[in-house]
Amino acid sequence: MMMSRLICWGLVMLLETIRLTLVIRQSDNFELFIRPNRIIISPMEWLNYHHLLYFWTVAREGSIVRASEQLTLSQSTISEQIRSLEASLGEELFARVGRNLVLTEMGQMVFRYADEIFAIGRELMDTVQGRPTDRPLRVMVGITDVVPKLVAYRLLEPALHLEQPVKIVYREGKLDQLLAELATYDLDVVLSDAPLSPTVKVRAFNHLLGECGVTFCGTDTLVAAYQSDFPQSLEGAPFLLPTDNTTMRRALDHWFEAEGLRPRVVAEFEDSALLKVFGQQGLGLFVVPTVIETEVQRQYGVELLGRVEPIRERFYALTVNRRLRHPAVVAMSEAAQQVLFH
């Protein structure tokens, strides 16, 4: 130790002359920052991967007993190693609910990282030993239930054309539910028809994918009946509308009011696909984003009544990062801006 300090002081004298900073990384968990006139010895943070493996196995198996059998270690040893991991992270990873162990919010995040770490480790061994690997890049996507399925498809599909194979895990739900999953890193991105409200407590960022007008559709009989003098012909026309908690419905109501129109609302739907099925049966006119009008016309056998550009449909990618990072999400965004909404 004395010899090491003498060497360090010699380096300090040299650095005093050339005005440089030298960092020596020691194998005993310390860093020496050598700057003119001083030496800083700083402890380094290291992750114990054995502890992480024990934690990951318990989380995956669902109990310490089953993890003990798989790892051929005593339950007390595994418990002690997990406590050491929790101490090093400064967070509790498990909580006991009755007789069961459940992951805390932090535990869920650590488990996802551990899952990726050990998957990459397996891939490394496969690569080194010459075994083929086609591990896909996984992207966890949440889509609000008001986003039309055809729009969702058009937004997601470009991710499947990356050079690396991609596995899309799709979840649909209410925005608040999906944002909670985004905040805990259960999702990489949420696709929505509205930006985050400033009142939302989740720290996330809005990325506008694109916008378009809307197209009024219906069966050939309905289109023929209301085509003349569009859009004034819509006064009293039967309509199938989204529910009033959607961005599209609010935009439609505002436009109807501005035009002095009072449509006859036959039914309201949260499920846009079901709305189109009713429209296919001739029960009312309905509205779709213009970017999917061709697909809707072909898939549901309806006709196009007219387009209204002032009613805007916007679609957003919501992420926890200010900039898009996941390659699949970047591909979705670029395709949306350059192709879909171009």
| Predicted pLDDT at 116 | 87
| Predicted pLDDT at 277 | 96
Q: What DSSP designation does 82 have?
A: H
CA 109, distance to chain mean position in Å, is 14
Helix axes 293-300, 272-280, angle to 10 degrees: 50
pLDDT digits (tens, 9 = 90+) for 258-316: 999 999 999 999 889 999 999 999 999 999 999 999 999 999 999 999 999 999 999 99
The SS3 assignment for 98 reads coil
322-327-330-334 Cα dihedral, nearest 10 degrees: 160
Region class of 301: left (phi > 0), else alpha (psi between -120 and 50), else beta: left
| Predicted pLDDT at 210 | 95
Q: Provide DSSP, 164-225.
A: S-EEEEEEEE-HHHHHHHHHTTS-SEEEESSPPPTT--S--EEEEEEEEEEEEEE-HHHHHH
| Predicted pLDDT at 18 | 38
pLDDT digits (tens, 9 = 90+) for 244-256: 989 999 999 999 9
| Predicted pLDDT at 82 | 93
Alpha-carbon span 109 to 185, nearest angstrom: 7
Q: Match domain 149-342 to its CATH number in 3.50.50.60, 2.130.10.10, 3.40.190.290, 3.40.50.720.
A: 3.40.190.290
Q: Where do the H-state alpha helices sit in the chain? A: 2-18, 49-61, 64-71, 75-89, 105-128, 149-156, 175-183, 220-226, 247-259, 272-280, 293-300, 327-335
Record: fold of 49-128: Arc Repressor Mutant, subunit A (1.10.10)
- Would you give the end-to-end CA distance of the chain in angstroms? 67
Alpha-carbon span 91 to 84, nearest angstrom: 11
Under a CB-based contact definition with an 8 Å cutoff, are residues 273 and 149 in contact?
yes
pLDDT digits (tens, 9 = 90+) for 311-321: 999 999 999 98
| Predicted pLDDT at 100 | 82
Under a CB-based contact definition with an 8 Å cutoff, are residues 155 and 332 in contact?
yes
Q: Both tokens of residue 249?
A: 């419905």
Q: Both tokens of residue 244?
A: 């009033």
Residue found by looking up tokens 């498990």 in the block: 94
Residue found by looking up tokens 């809005």 in the block: 206
Encoded amino acid at 111, one letter: F
Q: What kind and span of H or E run contains 336?
A: none
Alpha-carbon span 19 to 323, nearest angstrom: 37
C-alpha pair distances (Å), 313 with each of 21, 52, 132, 212, 329: 55, 46, 45, 5, 20
Alpha-carbon span 47 to 49, nearest angstrom: 6
pTM value is 0.63
Using CB atoms within 10 A of its CB, is residue 88 exposed (0-12), middle (13-18) or buried (19+)?
Answer: middle
Under a CB-based contact definition with an 8 Å cutoff, are residues 268 and 243 in contact?
yes
Alpha-carbon span 38 to 15, nearest angstrom: 10
Q: Both tokens of residue 72?
A: 């051929």
For the chain, the structural domain boundaries read 13-46, 49-128, 149-342
What is the dihedral sign for C-alpha 237, 243, 248, 254? positive
- In tens digits, what is the pLDDT along the chain, a chain of 342 residues? 444 444 444 444 444 443 444 444 444 444 444 444 444 444 556 788 899 999 999 999 988 999 999 999 999 999 999 999 999 899 999 998 887 888 999 999 999 999 989 888 887 777 567 565 567 788 999 999 889 999 999 999 999 998 888 889 999 999 989 999 998 888 999 999 999 888 888 888 999 999 999 999 999 999 999 999 999 999 999 999 999 989 999 999 999 999 999 999 999 998 899 999 999 999 999 999 999 999 999 999 999 999 999 999 999 999 998 899 888 999 999 999 998 887
The SS3 assignment for 41 reads strand
